[in-house]
């Protein structure tokens, strides 16, 4: 994840990189999907 942000920063110097803690906090806010929920969403 951080490598991707470094590449963006090289192309766009004004880009503000997220800290590892910020990324972890964002990922923790996503709801965990159960397998049957994904199947229902796709419509299988």
Which two three-digit tokens encode residue 10? 């090289």
What does the alpha-carbon distance between residue 42 and residue 36 come to, in Å, rounded to a whole number? 10
pLDDT tens digits, 1-44 = 578 888 888 999 898 888 889 888 988 888 888 888 888 888 77
Look at residue 33 in the predicted model and tell me its pLDDT: 80
- Residue spans of the domains in the chain: they are 2-42
What does the alpha-carbon distance between residue 28 and residue 34 come to, in Å, rounded to a whole number? 16
Query: Does the pTM of the predicted model rise above 0.85?
Result: no
Look at residue 8 in the predicted model and tell me its pLDDT: 87
Look at residue 35 in the predicted model and tell me its pLDDT: 83
Look at residue 11 in the predicted model and tell me its pLDDT: 92
């Amino acid at each position: 994840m951080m490598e991707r942000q470094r590449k963006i920063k090289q192309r766009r110097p004004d880009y503000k990189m997220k800290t590892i803690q910020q990324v972890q906090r964002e990922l923790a806010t996503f709801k965990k999907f159960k397998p049957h929920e994904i199947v229902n969403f796709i419509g299988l």
